[in-house]
Amino acid sequence: MTVSEERVQAIRHRLKEVQSLPTLPPIVSKLNRMVEDEEVTAEQLGRVIEKDQVLTSKLLKMVNSSFFGFPQRISTVSNAIVLLGFNVIKTLIVTSSIFEVMQESDVGLWEHSLGCATAAGILARRRGVKNPEEISTAGLIHDLGKIVVRSELPEDYARVQDLVAARQVAMREAELEVLGVGHGEIGGWLARQWNLPDRLVRPIEAHHHPETAGEFRELAAIVHFADILVRAVGFGFGGDPWVPPLDHEAWERIKFGRSVAREILAELDDKLLELQDFTMEIQRIGED
């Protein structure tokens, strides 16, 4: 086994112990406040939960666990909520672990994820994909790997960031050098370990090389392109300032003409503006 293989094995082993991931504190306080309000419905809670990549993946982990008995079936927050109900959601919120301090980079990555979810949803609807909500979910949690590395392997995460800054390389490139594996694969391992459906796992692990996603190539291509689009318009922060390279085969798969592109960008602009209101609100709660 080479050093790098050993390293990768060690990381996989480490992932087995990941029980929970940190959530942005303002989102949790907002949800906690909502839970105390008797008028609030599970659906309303769902609309806030589906704006957080960690809570969303936790909820999906829960509903796909063998305890509830629907392994690898449920891929969206709204469907998970129908099955889990208000009380379980409440428990999830109350037990969410929280970052002590909200870091600039956490907020940036969260905004990037939200933006990617939005763009993926727009592209999915354009292409007439059957379940656009599912692709939004994949977009939201596509960078799960970055969060795991940041919370479980903080020293490596710091080295990755140093490398990005010192050598001006993309985050994925730095990850491959430091960890021997990229965040896509890491996120995919975790998602698989949590019994999330393949329809989510494959796009997560393949969002930088969508053609490897087997029968879920189209979903992966959409997430891939959404990721790039959101980076290009400068919404949020994905860990490095560069737009990832476009996979040409993926582009062939989902490409559209100039006039459609203009419409898509206009729609994205509108939606991102709405999102900004929400992210500002959340950051204000964080400052209180």
Partner 1 sequence: MARIALVTRGFMASLDERLCLESMGHKVALHADLARALDNILNDPPDLLMLEKGLAEGVELDIIRSLKENLQLAFLPILLVVERMELAVGLDWDAYAVDDILSAKATVEEVIARVELALARMRRVADNNPLTKLPGNSSILKTIQGVLDAGAPMAVGYVDIDNFKPYNDRYGFSRGDEVIRMLARILVNVVDEAAGEDGFVGHVGGDDFVFVVPLEAAERVCRETIRNFDRLIPLFLDEPDLEAGCFVAADRRGNRCEFPLTSVSIAVVVNADGRYSHYGEVAAVAAQLKKKVKAETGSAYLVDRRVADNGPPPA
- Where do the H-state alpha helices sit in the chain? 3-15, 25-36, 42-49, 53-63, 77-94, 104-126, 132-140, 144-152, 154-167, 171-178, 183-193, 198-205, 217-233, 248-254, 258-287
195 binds partner 1 (CB under 8 A): no
Q: Which is nearer to partner 1, 35 or 82 (CB)?
A: 82
Contact characters 99-138, partner 1, x per CB under 8 A: ----------------------------------------
84 binds partner 1 (CB under 8 A): yes
CA pair distance 284, 29, nearest whole angstrom: 12
Q: Which is nearer to partner 1, 69 or 241 (CB)?
A: 69
85 binds partner 1 (CB under 8 A): yes
* Total number of residues that touch partner 1 (CB under 8 A): 15
- Which residue type, as a one-letter code, is found at position 16? K
Contacting partner 1 (CB under 8 A), which of 68, 99, 251, 256?
Answer: 68
CA pair distance 238, 164, nearest whole angstrom: 12
Cβ burial 195-215 (10 Å sphere, 16+ → b, else e): bbbbbbbbbbbbbbebbebee
Q: Which is nearer to partner 1, 133 or 173 (CB)?
A: 133
Report in angstroms how near the CB of residue 90 gets to partner 1 at its nearest. Answer: 12
Contacting partner 1 (CB under 8 A), which of 9, 20, 32, 41?
Answer: 41
86 binds partner 1 (CB under 8 A): yes
- On the CB side of 78, how many CA atoms lie within 13 Å of its CA? 9
């204000």: which residue's tokens?
284
Asked whether the beta carbons of 82 and 73 are under 8 A apart, the reply is: no
Report in angstroms how near the CB of residue 89 gets to partner 1 at its nearest. Answer: 10
Report in angstroms how near the CB of residue 56 gets to partner 1 at its nearest. Answer: 17
Q: Which is nearer to partner 1, 60 or 272 (CB)?
A: 60
Contacting partner 1 (CB under 8 A), which of 12, 70, 151, 161?
Answer: 70
Q: Which is nearer to partner 1, 199 or 224 (CB)?
A: 199
Q: Which is nearer to partner 1, 157 or 194 (CB)?
A: 194
User: What is the torsional sign of CA 39, 42, 43, 45?
Assistant: positive
Element (H, E) at 210: none
Report in angstroms how near the CB of residue 84 gets to partner 1 at its nearest. Answer: 7
Interacting residue ranges for partner 1, rule: CB under 8 A: 41-42, 68-70, 73-75, 79, 82-87
